[in-house]
């Protein structure tokens, strides 16, 4: 898509971090915006910022894990603006822990937001985007944790690997139909956002009764919070997404220092070698694997 001005973008998880930065980036490119977030106060703030900047914006409090709410978001977008040209399935939460220690609530929350959120976005918007027959683009936010498999992060890694695979499959599905829609998968390393404080938006019905007492969990929580705090500015990632939409580029990698870690993983895989386990502090040195 080379012309974004006047077109319409939908962004989920737009109340903070990458979603907020993306809203500002696409708004300043002249797009009209439909913004969604589960947190009404964050969403109102971002809606107000964009309104003040003269961007045409509609907001809707939306839990992307709920199909009916994402369908409501699509209804709003088409009622308000009559089209959707760019869809950013971006909302996500950080859920860490080993597979067997994570509770069903942990798994349901991670899968509900990070995976079903993307599925719901595709189901609610793609049929109408295809029917319009206009050029368009879909960006699914995964993570470098969808390319690498860092330790103590099973639910997050599972959902982000799923988003990478599903989006690549989507790329082929759109091409086979000779559609005018393109797609990209965003796979950043650490970005300075509120992701380490995701617990604040965990629904009550999915909260754990007692926090884990495993000392490794305290270590991993601190490690991720520290790395996110010194991560790339969200605005730099938003610039990369904007560029990828305009250029029709599929993979959006924003952390070139991680390339050796990607290469190492895939070369071990094709050589049939075991993965190499590193302490968390070593991951910091060799790849910033988020
Ligand atoms: N920050 C990083 O280091 C990093 C790295 C790789 C990928 N990501 C991915 O980037 C995306 C955006 O995260 P971020 O880093 O900007 O974090 P963030 O916490 O700053 O923003 C995420 C937003 O999503 C919203 N959200 C959470 N659950 C939701 C739900 N059920 N429905 C709708 N909105 C919901 C939150 O309220 C928040 O405003 C996520 O998919 C995340 O996994 C982040």
Both tokens assigned to 153: 């992060």
User: CA angle, 14 as apex, 10 and 15 as ends, to 5°?
Assistant: 150
pLDDT of residue 281: 64
The pLDDT score that the predictor gives to residue 2 is 84
Give the pLDDT score at 122. 98
Q: Considering only CA atoms, which of 120, 107, 17 is closest in space to residue 64?
A: 120
Burial state string for 209-236 with b = 16 or more CB within 10 A and e = fewer than 16: eeebeeeebeebbebbeebbeebbebbe
Q: What are the start-end ranges of the H helices in 60-116?
A: 67-81, 104-110
Question: What distance in Å separates the CA atoms of residue 164 and residue 4, rounded to the nearest whole number?
Answer: 25
Ligand 1 atom closest to the Cα of residue 231 is: 3
Residue 2 lies in a domain: no
Per-residue pLDDT, 213? 84
- Is 1 within a domain? no
Does residue 154 sit within a domain?
A: yes
The whole-number pLDDT of residue 24 equals: 98
Q: How many CB atoms lie within 10 A of CB 52?
A: 8
The DSSP string of 139-206 is: EEE--GGGTS--TTBHHHHHHHHHHHHHHHHHHHHHHHTT-SEEEEEE--S-EESSGGGGGGG--GGG
CA of 213 relative to ligand 1 center, distance in Å? 26
> What pairs with residue 140 in β-bridges?
89, 185
Pick the residue whose CA is nearest to atom 40 on ligand 1.
92
Q: How many domains does the chain have?
A: 1
What distance lies between CA 278 and its chain's CA centroid? 26
Q: Domain of 21: which CATH number? A: 3.40.50.720
Ranges of residues in the chain with a pLDDT under 50 are 286-290
Q: What pLDDT shows up at residue 282?
A: 60
Using CA of residue 159, residue 160, residue 163, residue 166, what is the dihedral sign?
A: negative
Among the listed residues 78, 156, 223, 251, the single catalytic one is: 156
Cα of 278 vs centre of ligand 1, distance in Å, is: 26
Helices then strands, each counted (H, E), the chain: 10, 9
Ligand 1 atom showing the smallest separation from residue 94 Cα: 43
Let me know if residue 3 belongs to a domain: no
Q: Is the dihedral of CA 169, 156, 99, 108 positive or negative?
A: negative
Q: Does residue 159 form part of some domain? A: yes
68 C-alpha vs ligand 1 centroid, how far in Å?
20
Domain that includes residue 168, residue range: 8-286
Q: Is residue 85 part of a domain?
A: yes
- Closest residue to atom 29 of ligand 1, CA basis: 38
CA distance linking residue 244 with residue 251, whole number of Å: 8
Total number of residues shown for the chain: 290
- Quote the CA–CA distance of 264 and 187 in Å, as a whole number: 17
Least Cα distance to 26 among 59, 52, 60, 3 occurs for 3
Is position 191 within any domain? yes
Measured from the CB, is residue 124 less than 6 Å from ligand 1? no
What pLDDT does residue 214 have? 85
For the record, the structure tokens of 253 come out as 């990698």
Q: Is 156 a catalytic residue?
A: yes
Report the DSSP beta bridge partners of residue 137. 86, 182
In 19-116 the beta strands, taken as DSSP E runs, fall at: 32-37, 57-61, 86-89
């Amino acid at each position: 898509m080379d012309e974004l001005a006047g077109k319409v973008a939908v962004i989920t998880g737009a109340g903070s971090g990458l979603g907020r930065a993306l809203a500002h980036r696409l708004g300043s490119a002249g797009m009209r915006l439909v913004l969604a977030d589960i947190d009404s106060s964050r969403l109102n703030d971002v809606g107000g910022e964009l309104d003040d900047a003269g961007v045409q914006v509609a907001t809707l409090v939306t839990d992307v894990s709920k199909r009916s709410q994402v369908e409501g978001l699509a209804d709003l977008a088409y009622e308000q603006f009559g089209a959707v040209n760019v869809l950013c399935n971006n909302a996500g939460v950080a859920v860490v822990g080993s597979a067997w220690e994570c509770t069903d609530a942990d798994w349901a929350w991670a899968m509900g937001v990070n995976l079903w959120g993307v599925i719901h976005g595709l189901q609610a918007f793609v049929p109408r985007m295809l029917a319009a027959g206009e050029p368009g683009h879909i960006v699914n936010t995964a993570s470098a944790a969808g390319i690498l498999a860092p330790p103590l992060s099973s639910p997050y890694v599972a959902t982000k690997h799923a988003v990478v695979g599903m989006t690549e499959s989507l790329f082929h599905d759109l091409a086979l139909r000779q559609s005018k829609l393109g797609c990209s998968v965003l796979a950043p390393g650490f970005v300075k956002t509120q992701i380490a404080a995701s617990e604040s938006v965990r629904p009550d019905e999915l909260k754990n009764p007692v926090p884990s007492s495993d000392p490794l969990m305290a270590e991993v929580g601190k490690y991720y919070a520290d790395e996110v705090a010194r991560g790339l500015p969200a605005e730099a990632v938003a610039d990369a997404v904007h560029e990828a939409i305009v250029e029709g580029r599929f993979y959006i990698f924003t952390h070139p220092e991680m390339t050796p870690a990607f290469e190492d993983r895939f070369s071990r895989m094709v050589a049939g070698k075991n993965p190499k386990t590193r302490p968390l502090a070593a991951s910091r040195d060799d790849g910033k694997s988020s």
